Chain A
């Protein structure tokens, strides 16, 4: 039997005859035709294109690896799932099943966590935007409120007085950890004494229980040493509180921001090579805490609010080639049905993208564009890709973090999200949007209903 060979369009390639360089002559990579036993082709034919695919196995594996990294270095560790990273209910619940608490940054996220069944006392409420109503709810539920600014502190004081309840609070601390840019817009500064001042205000008020200290030094951090600096500064604050008030801080929340294996735009080497492992972050944080001066009777609980590093590589975005085009400068471009409206992280990362079917070793520098009629819709400005035909399928890697929360309904409707469970069975965990879902929210005044053209 003769196998029909796939058609590949012809390509003319300039012969590079200069000195050989260390990157070699050609790109060798494999197509990704299957995701955990499910063929990409089948997934797309069943659930449509584009399609987000998430692996439950990978999520649990990432979680247990991170937990192991911290628990083998520090006696008391607690993870809190960062809702903003991915707040699909199914995803959150996997983390909750694994033992994660919830970390939320808005009233909406707070309500979502409660709706998922998280006990109020295991919700950490972060962020600069907490309305009075949100705070009252959080106080009643015994949630852990991380105060971001003095106005919030005063508001909480009023609520405590009015409701005669004692809010469980921590303050968010920002500090110089030797990395640029320094995140000083959230929380109270360590170096200029704001943080100490806020702690004193809380202790003097006598109306709140100071239970923790929180910091979140940045995002996609590539330097574990910065966390060691942050941990020792928080430990110092905790020790100061212990010395002055004989009050033990119950937990130290190191936030998140650990880099995933994605490649940041402008980075010379791929993220898979340069991003520190979770073990490196764990080592930096725990050794700083273990070696700090803070020696209460029981060591404080170490809370990690990591999001990205736990989920980024557990999700893929499947897409289809809509058209091929040659640009004016002769570069090849390919239009995909995946755009920045659903792949928001394309603004930050050079995502790894692989074809979902076999190809030959011939490649061409290609620009990958999304389907939007907007100039900014660029998925990859320049990527070495084999010859793609209309209808070919692609897999975008490491899309688990932020895409399914920051995506927007713009020009097209948002696609389905499916989860491959540990037995490789596929479940739809978010349906695609339909016209009516959007139009149901709209109202047209009666005088605007009719028109004639």
Chain B
């Protein structure tokens, strides 16, 4: 009844509650959430006040109408939680105190929202700054509220243990405490516990276990951060007592996780950054304590907040070396997932934010001068290509090649590489005799097109009088704009192509990729968001209507399959959905699993999988991981898959720890185009895909997939895992 009512008022109660706890460690892991709630209840009084604060803040955020996803993610809850825990430790529960807690929680929410607004502009997180402001305000003000009683707990640890578990608990704690552990380890656990205002080893131990369960890398970085501090303190001759006494060792731990693993991609270089950041935290702790001590306030997590925000701002304003370290753009709330996705996607998805640019010609051409070419592609004009055509022997002309007409490329159509407006035209320059070069009008007859703000393309050395477009005209991709010629600095006919940031003929060139093309050297290879190199034979990817339509998934569309897995046959439905950020995904009606995808004109990508890996949607995700909308006979396209999907969890956990340095696991996808019955009425295309999971190069698990397309849909999808064969037929 209450649950049903709660669901009606605030449907995301449990999720937002758990996430509010885990957000303190930048996590959304449910197990960690339960452990943290458990740890916070070591001190029932504080735990309860913390819970009250979270609920107050989350419910208020939801009812006020703040972003739902952020409420679910606990982003409006964790600061209130910290404030609640902090207050709960100091004061005894009483009615006035509860009222104060509720209002302080609201104040925290206001502070969170305001700070978020301020820092958002700089692309920075607000971390636990709202907590700091709120708790300082609360501490300073509650001194004057005489109805409140200071709690006596926290002074005698054994009393607390007794309250928690009676006499046996006291015995256990005593045994645990007197174990001859190195001092550093004890302090590490205490520091972890101190995040939840628990100053004993138990809390730290439970949190450490939760941390390790959620993320091996986060745990590793917490240890690295802490030991760096340890080494630094010993080095400068400050005693470890300072560290243990202040109980603010957690600043090092959180800073290490944030700077090294959460906001950036974990890597060797991020370890270096962690080590640089630790002494800075130490300075801030010492100096901050000196200042705040005057007001009888604790410094709490202020050093962590300042250092992390300053470092992130530093990383964000870099103009070069963006990969040292790389910032995380798609936050998956797991350092290892972020790392594995990054490793796969930096090669796989570099073209997502790029304009779709095709080759400016039809058929197969050869790159005879590439970027930084030996002839003219130098200095600011280095990002350019010269294209010519050859016959099967590699000769660019027929007969003796003494006339421009002898050259295969001469007078061939030059087409618009993308939609755009014609920004400038130069015509009327005579085509040179073979061997001659017009150095006065070196670009020759040219067309410059504008495709987007700051993205222009220039086609040069065109045949005189062949330009078919007018300045200012809108031209569609693939429409002919002129013919290849031999004007300007062109001793023999060729097409010069370059991207530039300005619309004038001959402006400085721009380093920009073509969205998709094929190279036909020894074998045909598909490239996306790439640039051809010298001597490549290049052609456009020819989009096949059948694949174009079959891979066009519309939100709201249902995919129905009949499944036959040799034991039983049943019906299966998936739905195409989109979220508020315009991301599209396929969702399995039964398991709720989601497979996120991106469709570009030439490629269909699955980017991310979330949910039960036993679902057939997971197989579909693997089998259709990356498909292209053209058919390339003999194509074999290989791609890496994120290791986060590795089936053996135990092995993966070991891999996680050393992942920033060395990967002994490999997950790979290979797509083969097997058959195209290019029938005009009912064309059929068949593909084969294989996903291999291997360890040290030895095959661990293999799945293979057969896909058949016809009548504008994927008609069948056959999965083979070992001896099992599952057939999905479209209904």
A63→B545 CA distance, assembly (Å): 26
Binds B, one of A23-31, A67-75, A260-268, A435-443: A67-75
Q: Select one of A65, A68, A168, A290 contacting B681, CB under 8 A.
A: A168
Give the contacts of B678-717 with A (CB-CB under 8 A). 678-682
| B110: interface (CB < 8 Å) | no
A68 and B413 contacting across the interface, CB-CB below 8 Å: no
| B408: interface (CB < 8 Å) | yes
A122→B680 CA distance, assembly (Å): 8
A68 and B682 contacting across the interface, CB-CB below 8 Å: no
| B391: interface (CB < 8 Å) | yes
Give the contacts of B434-484 with A (CB-CB under 8 A). 478, 480
Closest to A121 in B: B679
Chain A residue numbers with a CB within 8 Å of B478 are 75
A72 and B412 contacting across the interface, CB-CB below 8 Å: yes
Q: If the complex has contacts A68-B389, A68-B391, are A74 and B680 also in contact, measured as CB distance less than 8 A? A: no
Task: Specify which of B362, B389, B392, B545 lies most central, judged by the most chain A CB atoms within 10 Å of its CB.
Answer: B362
Q: If the complex has contacts A72-B389, A74-B362, are A251 and B412 also in contact, measured as CB distance less than 8 A? A: no
| B363: interface (CB < 8 Å) | yes
A75 and B542 contacting across the interface, CB-CB below 8 Å: yes
- Shortest B193–chain A CB gap in Å is 65
B362 and A73 contacting across the interface, CB-CB below 8 Å: yes
B682 and A64 contacting across the interface, CB-CB below 8 Å: no
Give the contacts of A81-130 with B (CB-CB under 8 A). 119, 121-122
- Shortest A288–chain B CB gap in Å is 12
A2→B681 CA distance, assembly (Å): 72
| A211: interface (CB < 8 Å) | yes
| B677: interface (CB < 8 Å) | yes
Q: Select one of B364, B677, B682 contacting A71, CB under 8 A.
A: B364
| A390: interface (CB < 8 Å) | no
A71 and B362 contacting across the interface, CB-CB below 8 Å: yes
- Shortest B524–chain A CB gap in Å is 14
A73 and B412 contacting across the interface, CB-CB below 8 Å: yes
B413 and A72 contacting across the interface, CB-CB below 8 Å: yes
| B411: interface (CB < 8 Å) | yes
| A392: interface (CB < 8 Å) | no
Main secondary structure of the interface of A (DSSP, over half): mixed
- Shortest A52–chain B CB gap in Å is 25
B681 and A121 contacting across the interface, CB-CB below 8 Å: yes
Q: Select one of A71, A75, A211, A283 contacting B680, CB under 8 A.
A: A211
A74→B361 CA distance, assembly (Å): 10
Q: Select one of B364, B408, B545, B678 contacting A298, CB under 8 A.
A: B545
- Shortest A295–chain B CB gap in Å is 10
Chain B residue numbers with a CB within 8 Å of A298 are 545
- Shortest B714–chain A CB gap in Å is 20
Q: If the complex has contacts A72-B362, A283-B411, are A142 and B679 also in contact, measured as CB distance less than 8 A? A: yes
| A76: interface (CB < 8 Å) | yes
A68→B391 CA distance, assembly (Å): 8
Closest to B548 in A: A298
Chain A residue numbers with a CB within 8 Å of B363 are 68, 71-73
A125→B644 CA distance, assembly (Å): 56
| A175: interface (CB < 8 Å) | no
| A250: interface (CB < 8 Å) | yes
| A226: interface (CB < 8 Å) | no
A328→B409 CA distance, assembly (Å): 56
A122 and B679 contacting across the interface, CB-CB below 8 Å: yes
- Shortest A100–chain B CB gap in Å is 12
Chain B residue numbers with a CB within 8 Å of A60 are 392
- Shortest A142–chain B CB gap in Å is 6
Q: If the complex has contacts A72-B361, A142-B681, are A290 and B413 also in contact, measured as CB distance less than 8 A? A: yes
Closest to B409 in A: A72
- Shortest A121–chain B CB gap in Å is 4
A211 and B362 contacting across the interface, CB-CB below 8 Å: no
Chain A residue numbers with a CB within 8 Å of B412 are 72-73
Chain A residue numbers with a CB within 8 Å of B391 are 61, 64-65, 68
- Shortest A237–chain B CB gap in Å is 18
B681 and A209 contacting across the interface, CB-CB below 8 Å: yes
| Interface 1/0 per residue, B333-366 and A, CB below 8 Å | 0000000000000000000000000000111110
A168→B361 CA distance, assembly (Å): 32
Give the contacts of B364-380 with A (CB-CB under 8 A). 364-365
| A203: interface (CB < 8 Å) | no
A121 and B677 contacting across the interface, CB-CB below 8 Å: yes
| A144: interface (CB < 8 Å) | yes
Chain A residue numbers with a CB within 8 Å of B681 are 121, 142, 168, 209, 211
Closest to B478 in A: A75
Count of A-B contacts judged by CB separation below 8 Å: 61
A209→B682 CA distance, assembly (Å): 12
| A408: interface (CB < 8 Å) | no
| A32: interface (CB < 8 Å) | no
Q: Select one of B409, B677, B680 contacting A251, CB under 8 A.
A: B680
- Shortest B600–chain A CB gap in Å is 18
| A429: interface (CB < 8 Å) | no
Q: If the complex has contacts A121-B681, A168-B680, A211-B681, are A68 and B364 also in contact, measured as CB distance less than 8 A? A: yes
| A301: interface (CB < 8 Å) | yes
Give the contacts of A305-323 with B (CB-CB under 8 A). none
Q: Select one of B364, B389, B542, B680 contacting A250, CB under 8 A.
A: B680
Chain A residue numbers with a CB within 8 Å of B362 are 71-75
A301→B478 CA distance, assembly (Å): 15
B480 and A144 contacting across the interface, CB-CB below 8 Å: no
| Interface 1/0 per residue, A43-77 and B, CB below 8 Å | 00000000000000000110011001001111110
A61→B394 CA distance, assembly (Å): 12
Closest to A70 in B: B363
A121 and B680 contacting across the interface, CB-CB below 8 Å: yes
| Interface 1/0 per residue, B391-423 and A, CB below 8 Å | 110000000000000001101110000000000
| Interface 1/0 per residue, B656-686 and A, CB below 8 Å | 0000000000000000000001111110000
B392 and A61 contacting across the interface, CB-CB below 8 Å: yes
Q: If the complex has contacts A72-B362, A75-B478, A283-B411, are A64 and B392 also in contact, measured as CB distance less than 8 A? A: yes
- Shortest B365–chain A CB gap in Å is 8
A142 and B480 contacting across the interface, CB-CB below 8 Å: no
Q: If the complex has contacts A61-B392, A76-B542, A290-B413, are A301 and B364 also in contact, measured as CB distance less than 8 A? A: no
- Shortest B480–chain A CB gap in Å is 6
Chain A residue numbers with a CB within 8 Å of B413 are 72-73, 286-287, 290
B680 and A290 contacting across the interface, CB-CB below 8 Å: no
Q: Select one of A73, A74, A119 contacting B677, CB under 8 A.
A: A119
Chain B residue numbers with a CB within 8 Å of A122 are 678-679
Chain A residue numbers with a CB within 8 Å of B680 are 121, 144, 168, 211-212, 250-251, 301
Chain B residue numbers with a CB within 8 Å of A251 are 680
- Shortest B580–chain A CB gap in Å is 32
- Shortest A129–chain B CB gap in Å is 23
A211→B682 CA distance, assembly (Å): 12
Task: Specify which of B364, B542, B681 lies most central, judged by the most chain A CB atoms within 10 Å of its CB.
Answer: B681
A65→B363 CA distance, assembly (Å): 12
Closest to A76 in B: B542
Task: Specify which of A74, A121, A168 lies most central, judged by the most chain B CB atoms within 10 Å of its CB.
Answer: A121
Chain B residue numbers with a CB within 8 Å of A61 are 391-392
A212→B409 CA distance, assembly (Å): 30
- Shortest A230–chain B CB gap in Å is 20
Q: Which residues of B contact A (CB under 8 A)?
A: 361-365, 389, 391-392, 408-409, 411-413, 478, 480, 542, 545, 677-682
25 A-B contact pairs sorted by A residue (CB < 8 Å): A64-B391, A68-B364, A68-B389, A68-B408, A71-B363, A72-B361, A72-B363, A72-B364, A72-B413, A73-B362, A74-B362, A75-B362, A75-B542, A119-B677, A119-B679, A121-B677, A121-B679, A121-B680, A122-B678, A142-B679, A211-B681, A251-B680, A283-B411, A286-B413, A298-B545
- Given A61-B391, A142-B682, A209-B681, 12 other A-B contacts at CB below 8 A? A68-B363, A72-B362, A72-B408, A72-B412, A76-B542, A121-B677, A121-B681, A121-B682, A168-B680, A250-B680, A251-B680, A301-B680
The 6 closest A-B pairs by CB, nearest first: A72-B363, A121-B679, A71-B363, A72-B412, A168-B681, A250-B680
